[in-house]
Chains A and B, each alone.
Chain A
């Protein structure tokens, strides 16, 4: 069937099986590869993106449910590369990624966490994000979210 949706503010019509996970529709039909496959069972968070502003693990979210909705992926988190989202600025500053594969999911979750709680404590961050990273970037993720919170409040990294 044809599914009409808006990905990163651009309307797009995809020819897809209605039950195809949004993850594969975004990656392989809309050709936006930043959203990653990790577990396929809503456990690891690598496939995190937003549907109408809600944080969704897209590996188990049928594309038909996104019909007519706004989808935001890592490629659409910032306005453009010159005006990075505070989370991405902080990720650069703290040098978070190693292999980097899980990081788009973490950044999407982090940006949502800061929307809901602009000044999280370390405990809030630890309890608020359950994504999985195997390279062990955990300490930097926590520090980057604390920094992003400051960037959001003050408008710049300094």
Chain B
């Protein structure tokens, strides 16, 4: 690697980032106005294969690190910790170059004042900073050596670093001791990184560094934020989809005990009170009338999301699709609306003093939140300080929809910091949801059990448009980047076609862990199973038969072989157990699952899940195992139980009594298998979500001969049994 023209702190990694990001934003957008269909297909393929950039562009070690007086080092994380374990992985990466023990590295969130705070999502926090964190750490180490060399009058190359101490010229000084003596720092050149063969931490299992606080119940979450003079807010939003506030009677709320202020805005009513209880009680006394469409029901959302309706965009075409259209096998699949239902509801603490705002929040996209406060309320961005706090779950819910504008307005109204929390009903009715989807798969088989052609037509509400400038929507035509993630058929098949129909829905839809991969994998991998059974080939062998010879398909093949071996796939299984397999490629990561299940008194009981993952470099196997187990459980929940429904213009689901999620009762044995199929790391949090639903459906078919093509599968099984 040529490092000769590298700047002192914004070196190779920055240019790499800009190159990667540039393709997606400027160049392609301009080109899209011309040769649309070809470019759209190209962009779809590019996005499916790309390395996800971190979005961080400043790598000065002074922004990332602080040397503390007790000779520990604080690393400021540009990404938020929402349970993924990234703080632990970041500390491990920094320790590789810092020559200080892992337990001497503390990780905290950067604030927007650091200049390095980014958005968190797309499962890329660790993989996208794999090189950067080591480079910034190495630069800090070299900077310490440079300053010590000046102090001792020797060359920096004669100085060695070990366990937080610099040695040279027969002398030694701790990092903290040196920092104490240094008033003006000269940042060293970024050195070449240590090779993977010299890794001391990467690849080994380490406990989570955030775990003790979480076991001891320390006040680390957004909801735990307490400021002097802080008061509590509560806000009423329309319980109806798209509801507009017609009128409100605030008199009883205004005179309620403990109320400091009642604020009526365009489409919400806010209360500020001395306690959260007083604020909630007063809110219950508000009488509001809303204008909405009382005739909107689940069936309308299902009808709107149907192949053939909306903007049609072809995103994959290989060979002759005419041969596919004379299909032999054709099936339709549907997935429902899904809620995130993270355990900590949306929370913002806003402190407005004159023209300055400080926001404390457990949110994924703080720069976005900062921008929206600036855009909507006129504060200068530099006067809005964003302070991230640990999240009680993210899952995509805490990306774009937030309550910061309301919190800022309430803080302005009372001149005090305001703690504003969604209640659980608002999390369901006023958050945003995973859109429902519809898929039509068709395929044609050859006489010798090969797929001659396959076609995937699907419809979905948008997931990623909220993340893009408005002008991008008509250029893309459909949200194939996010909602269409995973829609392309990634097997070696001669004739292929994938087409998306962009649906329009009256409620807000956005990312949910795995984004489009979740629904698209359910459809494609269920259909692969149907084709396998039709051709009489073992479903795992059938998949292997359609893995071609590209690098990525060879990784897929390897992982499928591995899970086949580890799960004993080719060995006979008890008669009352069904077994199913599925696989997906989520950017560069491959995940494959084998599910074993029984049906007891009409209930699907999953007894064992094997989940294999190839995320390239395995940084912390302990962290990856945790993420894969977690994704498996969340996917079991969504696959078996979860569905959002609409009646008379509002979401029916308001809390956990009518939105069933997995509990301890749904827990199978989970065996995680890891394979390192590349020397570059890729995402872990989302990929293992997606193979679970099809693997369950395929296992149900294996056991019962019933093909369930609608999520959630437990409901689908009951409907199937009732219709017989």
Q: Which A residues form the contact surface with B (CB < 8 A)?
A: 16-17, 19-21, 24, 28-29, 31, 33-41, 43-44, 46, 73-75, 81, 84, 88, 91-92, 95-104, 107, 125-127, 129-142
B223 partner residues in chain A, CB cutoff 8 A: 33, 36-37
Task: Please measure, in the bound complex, the distance between the C-alpha atom of A66 and the C-alpha atom of B217, giving whole angstroms.
Answer: 22
Nearest CB of A to B73, in Å:
24
> Which B623-665 residues have C-beta < 8 A from chain A?
626-627, 629-634, 637, 655-657, 661-665
* Chain A contact surface mostly: loop
B343 touches A17 (CB 8 A): no
A135 touches B424 (CB 8 A): no
Interface string of B111-141 (1 = CB under 8 A from A): 0000000000000000000000000000000
B421 touches A88 (CB 8 A): no
Name A35's closest neighbour in chain B (CB-CB). Answer: B217
A16 partner residues in chain B, CB cutoff 8 A: 275
A138 partner residues in chain B, CB cutoff 8 A: 633, 662-664, 666-667
B633 touches A99 (CB 8 A): no
Task: Please measure, in the bound complex, the distance between the C-alpha atom of A87 and the C-alpha atom of B356, giving whole angstroms.
Answer: 45
A95 touches B208 (CB 8 A): yes
Q: Which of B217, B226, B343, B626 contacts A134 (CB 8 A)?
A: B343
B-side interface size class: 35 or more
Nearest CB of B to A12, in Å:
16
Q: Which of B211, B219, B345, B421 contacts A97 (CB 8 A)?
A: B211
**Counting CB contacts under 8 A, is B49 at the interface?**
no
Task: Please measure, in the bound complex, the distance between the C-alpha atom of A75 and the C-alpha atom of B218, giving whole angstroms.
Answer: 8
B224 partner residues in chain A, CB cutoff 8 A: 33
B627 partner residues in chain A, CB cutoff 8 A: 98
Task: Please measure, in the bound complex, the distance between the C-alpha atom of A41 and the C-alpha atom of B424, giving whole angstroms.
Answer: 9
**Counting CB contacts under 8 A, is B379 at the interface?**
no
B219 partner residues in chain A, CB cutoff 8 A: 33-34
The list of the 7 closest CB pairs from A to B, nearest first, reads: A34-B217, A136-B633, A101-B392, A99-B83, A100-B214, A136-B630, A74-B217
B657 partner residues in chain A, CB cutoff 8 A: 41, 43
**Counting CB contacts under 8 A, is B670 at the interface?**
yes
A20 partner residues in chain B, CB cutoff 8 A: 275, 277
Q: Which of B217, B393, B424, B633 contacts A75 (CB 8 A)?
A: B217
Task: Please measure, in the bound complex, the distance between the C-alpha atom of A24 and the C-alpha atom of B215, giving whole angstroms.
Answer: 21
**Counting CB contacts under 8 A, is B341 at the interface?**
yes
6 contacts between A and B (CB under 8 A): A33-B217, A33-B224, A98-B630, A107-B215, A127-B665, A138-B633
B424 partner residues in chain A, CB cutoff 8 A: 38-41
B264 partner residues in chain A, CB cutoff 8 A: none
Name A105's closest neighbour in chain B (CB-CB). Answer: B343
Q: Which of A31, A75, A98 contacts B626 (CB 8 A)?
A: A98
A33 partner residues in chain B, CB cutoff 8 A: 217-219, 221, 223-224, 226
A132 touches B661 (CB 8 A): yes
B670 partner residues in chain A, CB cutoff 8 A: 139
Name B669's closest neighbour in chain A (CB-CB). Answer: A139
Interface string of B533-559 (1 = CB under 8 A from A): 000000000000000000000000000
**Counting CB contacts under 8 A, is B216 at the interface?**
yes
> Which B155-200 residues have C-beta < 8 A from chain A?
none
Q: Which of B211, B340, B392, B631 contacts A95 (CB 8 A)?
A: B211
Task: Please measure, in the bound complex, the distance between the C-alpha atom of A157 and the C-alpha atom of B417, giving whole angstroms.
Answer: 45
**Counting CB contacts under 8 A, is B207 at the interface?**
yes
**Counting CB contacts under 8 A, is B395 at the interface?**
yes
A17 partner residues in chain B, CB cutoff 8 A: 257-258, 275, 277-278, 281
Q: Which of B212, B217, B630, B668 contacts A137 (CB 8 A)?
A: B630
B663 partner residues in chain A, CB cutoff 8 A: 130-132, 138
**Counting CB contacts under 8 A, is B321 at the interface?**
no
A99 touches B216 (CB 8 A): no
B221 partner residues in chain A, CB cutoff 8 A: 33, 36, 101
Name A104's closest neighbour in chain B (CB-CB). Answer: B217
Question: A101-B393, A126-B665 in contact; A44/B85 too (CB < 8 A)?
Answer: no
**Counting CB contacts under 8 A, is B276 at the interface?**
yes
Question: A20-B275, A31-B226, A33-B219 in contact; A100/B210 too (CB < 8 A)?
Answer: yes
B634 touches A136 (CB 8 A): yes
Q: Which of B218, B277, B629, B656 contacts A136 (CB 8 A)?
A: B629
Q: Which of B215, B423, B666 contacts A88 (CB 8 A)?
A: B215
Q: Which of B276, B622, B655 contacts A28 (CB 8 A)?
A: B276
B341 partner residues in chain A, CB cutoff 8 A: 134
**Counting CB contacts under 8 A, is B203 at the interface?**
no
B345 partner residues in chain A, CB cutoff 8 A: 37
Task: Please measure, in the bound complex, the distance between the C-alpha atom of A54 and the C-alpha atom of B669, giving whole angstroms.
Answer: 31
A102 partner residues in chain B, CB cutoff 8 A: 343, 392
Question: A21-B277, A95-B207, A98-B85 in contact; A46/B656 too (CB < 8 A)?
Answer: no
B258 partner residues in chain A, CB cutoff 8 A: 17
A136 partner residues in chain B, CB cutoff 8 A: 629-634, 637, 662
Question: A97-B215, A125-B664 in contact; A43/B655 too (CB < 8 A)?
Answer: yes
Name B224's closest neighbour in chain A (CB-CB). Answer: A33
Name B665's closest neighbour in chain A (CB-CB). Answer: A126
**Counting CB contacts under 8 A, is B342 at the interface?**
yes
B391 touches A99 (CB 8 A): yes
A88 partner residues in chain B, CB cutoff 8 A: 215-216
Question: A95-B208, A101-B392, A138-B662 in contact; A24/B276 too (CB < 8 A)?
Answer: yes
**Counting CB contacts under 8 A, is B696 at the interface?**
no
**Counting CB contacts under 8 A, is B102 at the interface?**
no
- Pick the most buried of A20, A81, A135, A139: most chain B CB atoms within 10 A of its CB: A135
Task: Please measure, in the bound complex, the distance between the C-alpha atom of A102 and the C-alpha atom of B668, giving whole angstroms.
Answer: 20
A74 partner residues in chain B, CB cutoff 8 A: 216-217
**Counting CB contacts under 8 A, is B498 at the interface?**
no
Task: Please measure, in the bound complex, the distance between the C-alpha atom of A131 and the C-alpha atom of B616, giving whole angstroms.
Answer: 35
Nearest CB of A to B345, in Å:
7
**Counting CB contacts under 8 A, is B58 at the interface?**
no
B633 partner residues in chain A, CB cutoff 8 A: 133, 135-139
Nearest CB of A to B661, in Å:
6
Interface string of B603-636 (1 = CB under 8 A from A): 0000000000000000000100011011111100
Task: Please measure, in the bound complex, the distance between the C-alpha atom of A98 and the C-alpha atom of B633, giving whole angstroms.
Answer: 13
B208 partner residues in chain A, CB cutoff 8 A: 95, 97
**Counting CB contacts under 8 A, is B316 at the interface?**
no
Nearest CB of B to A29, in Å:
8
B344 touches A101 (CB 8 A): yes
**Counting CB contacts under 8 A, is B418 at the interface?**
no
> Which B198-242 residues have C-beta < 8 A from chain A?
207-208, 210-221, 223-224, 226, 232
**Counting CB contacts under 8 A, is B489 at the interface?**
no
Nearest CB of A to B528, in Å:
26
Q: Which of B226, B281, B667 contacts A126 (CB 8 A)?
A: B667
Task: Please measure, in the bound complex, the distance between the C-alpha atom of A129 and the C-alpha atom of B82, giving whole angstroms.
Answer: 24
Name A89's closest neighbour in chain B (CB-CB). Answer: B215
A101 partner residues in chain B, CB cutoff 8 A: 221, 343-344, 392-393
B214 touches A36 (CB 8 A): no
**Counting CB contacts under 8 A, is B84 at the interface?**
yes
Additional 14 contacts, C-beta under 8 A, given A20-B277, A81-B216, A101-B343? A17-B278, A24-B276, A37-B345, A40-B424, A44-B656, A84-B215, A91-B215, A100-B213, A107-B215, A129-B664, A130-B664, A135-B393, A137-B633, A140-B629
